[in-house]
Each structure stands twice: as structure tokens, then as C-alpha cells.
Structure 1
Amino acid sequence: MSLDPYLAGDEVVQADHPAVRAAATALRGGRDETGFARVAFEFVRDEVRHSVDAGDPRVTVTAAEVLEQRVGLCYAKSHLLAAVLRAEGVPAGLCYQRLATGDGGFVLHGLVAVHLDGRWHRQDPRGNKPGVDAQFSLAGPRLAFTVDPAAGECDYEPVFATPDPGVLAALRSTTDVLALCAAGLPASLSGH
């Protein structure tokens, strides 16, 4: 499998955007790929607030928007992390979990996979809070949420080069991301 698609930028995962490239260069410093991936992950996890945690209704979709506004849902934060990694030549893709909402429904949760040491490693830049402790790890996932197959939850196995079209459509359908969350985020993959 070619990793070229996981190094390329697009209109959402903007690896070639000047602001994204500048941030990636600053985060890279003199670090090797693993050190850079860890610092990039921690930057997005800790310095970009999760919209719901922050109570911030602004809608961000593209990597540059997330970087500029320092806020976004899990999907948007994943777009930024993938773009920053790609900007410095580290293959990164997008992946998803299907999580139960507790009221009989489901929600799609966005993650990033980074390709290091010859394989993919899932990372969750969602942002930590009480009860959520996502960490950078190459020794097995340390994600914000552990899926419960008995509850209908799952980790979607594929690593995608581009965001799910249903996620993009949902984000672009609103001017208030908190209202979108209340109305219901995508519950499953749509276009891959």
C-alpha cells in the first residue's frame, strides 16, 4: 500500500497551508519522527479546545480554521493533527469509532492514525477532561474512549486519507456546532 495519499494535503487536511506548515516546522524543531508526532499530538490535544468542553459554538472544519481559532470538535482537531504531521512528512490518516450516546443512539468519533515504525498507531487528540485521558502511544491505543462491542460500539478499522463525507456535510450544515451536537452528529460512516 502506498503511503502517498497519507502525505498529501487537500481542502480540509491542509498540509500545504502556510500557517499549518509554519506550525508544523515549529513543532518539529530537531525532533525525530516519533518525537515530532508526540509533540504535534500533545499540541492539538492540549492547545486546541474541544468545542463542547469549551462551550464554544464556532464551527471549524479545515486544518487552518482549527489552528487559527484553536477550537473544534474531534473531527476538526483530527484534521489539524493529520495536516501538521503530513506537513513534516509523517504519514497520517483519519479513522473513526462508533460510540453509544447512552440514549439508544450512536455518534461517530474522529481519530488520527500515524504511520511510524512500519505500522499505523491510532491517536485521539480530542482533549482530556475528567474521565478522559488520551495519551500518545506506539505501544497500543490510549484513546479517549474504549469501545464496548456489546453496546454496538466499534472501532472502524480502515485508515482514510480523506475525511468522511458525512462528517464534512454535517459540519458544513450549521453555524453553531453546539446546536449540531444537540441535534445529533453522524452515527456511522457515510462515504467511505
Structure 2
Amino acid sequence: MTAPEFDGEPWDYLGADEAIDVEHPLVQSIAARLRTGDDITFARLAFEHVRDEVRHCLDAGDGRVTWRASDVLEQEVGFCYAKSHAFVALLRAGGIQAGLCYQRLRDGDGFVVHGLAAALIDDRWVRLDPRGNNAEVNVGFSAAEDRLAWRPDPALGEIDYPTVHARPHPAVLEALRSHTDALTMPLPSEL
């Protein structure tokens, strides 16, 4: 990705909203437990916590739809978007600027929006994908470069949206908030 674009002011990437509920006691307690050492160590531990301890609902066959960071961390399940909300909330609770990023990826004959996160670590913005590993995806942490589950192919109409959002995109939040079954929920196809 080229230089990221931002839809907020620097302080917005430390703030809270309805989905990224940074002040929630569970978010605060997990961030405090993981906040050992420097920013890179904390960011890695937060990434690994969300990637490994929160299951992707489709991988797990779990129909619960979570969207608020604290609910994602409590129920330990969520779509890529929800897992990114949790990761961003933990980073912000630990004092690291973070935001949300999206990709449009080919899904059969159509497209699906994929959610991931970006964080300001060691004076550079890196995109990280806490989606969770499975037979097709194996993503680790890096403070030096983007680590993504998928690289969009423009020839297929896929897009790497360049904006680091301070808040969840309305299309994503609406999809999560208006459905109760993750296994039958239609995912957004574009932003």
C-alpha cells in the first residue's frame, strides 16, 4: 500500500466510540495485563491475543455476531471486522494510535469487504490482520511491514482501500449491528 490516508485527527486514533469501547473494564484489564515492555512488545501481544484467543466466527461455525470490542473480547468470537475493533481498542487502551482498514476481495462471482487494522508502531504505520490463522491463512505480527492475510489483485477488481479509519466504516457497522446470525449474514461487498 502507498502512504495511508486518514479520516481523522491524530487524537482520534486514541479515542473511543460505540464499537471501540476503550474505557470498558474488560478492554482496560486485558490491555493492562498485556502492557509489558515497550510498544512493539505490547502491540505484538495484543495482536496475538486477538488473533489466537478470539475465533473467527466462520472458522468456528459460531453464529454469534459481535461488533463492540468488549463483546468480542468477552465472547471470544467475531468476524474480521469485529476482531479488528478489539485489536484497535486494546492498542488504544495501551496508548498506541490505531485505526481500521478495509479491502474489497473477490468472493465467487462477487466481492466481500475484509477488515483489518493499522497501528502506529515505532514511528511508522503498519497494517496488521488479526483475522486468525487457519488452513488458508497464516499471518504473524510485524512492527516493520504490513502483514496481511490477502493481497488484493486489481486485475480481479480487488481493492486495497487506502484510508485508515478512526471509526468503523458505517457499511460494516450497519451489517454487524443489523444481523443476529453470523453464519447466514450477508457481508458488505463494497464501502
Q: Output the TM-score relative to the length of structure 2.
A: 0.93
Higher relative contact order (CA 8 A, sep 6+): 2
1:41-75 deviation per Cα after TM superposition (whole angstroms, max 9, x unaligned): 00000000000000000110100100110000000
Partner of 1:105: 110
| SS in structure 2 of the partner of residue 60 of structure 1 | coil
What is aligned with 1:136? 141
Instruction: Note if 1:18 corresponds to 2:60.
Output: no
- Please, what is the CA RMSD of the aligned residues? 1.1
1:43 equivalenced with 2:45 (yes/no):
no
Deviation larger for 92-101 or 139-148: 139-148
2:65 aligns with 59
SS at match of 2:163: coil
Aligned match of 1:27? 34
In 2, Cα distance between the equivalents of 1:139 and 1:24?
A: 22
In 1: Cα distance, 2:40 partner to 2:122 partner: 9
Identity of aligned residues (%): 57
2:34·2:46 contact (CA, 8 Å) conserved in 1?
Answer: yes
Where 2:184 maps in the other structure, the secondary structure is helix
- The one-letter code of the counterpart of 2:73 is L
The number of residue pairs the alignment matches comes to 184
Counterpart residue type for residue 13 of structure 1:
I
Paired residue for 2:15?
8
Asked if residue 85 in structure 1 is aligned to residue 91 in structure 2, the reply is yes
Q: SS of the residue aligned with 2:50?
A: helix
**5+ residue gaps, structure 2:** 1-7
Shift, 1:32, TM fit: 0.4
Query: Aligned AA for 2:173?
Result: L
Aligned partners of 1:85, 1:46: CA distance in 2, in Å? Answer: 16
Q: Give the letter aligned to residue 175 of structure 1.
A: T
**Which of 145, 157, 176 is 2:162 aligned to?**
157
C-alpha contact (below 8 Å) 2:39/2:122 kept by paired residues: no
| SS of 1:120 mapped into structure 2 | strand
Matched to 2:114, the amino acid is H
1:171 and 2:176 are equivalent in the alignment:
yes
Match of 1:187 among 177, 186, 189: 189
Aligned to 2:120, what secondary structure does the other structure show? strand
Quote the Cα distance in structure 2 between the aligned partners of 1:27 and 1:2: 26
**Could you say what secondary structure the match of 1:178 adopts?**
coil
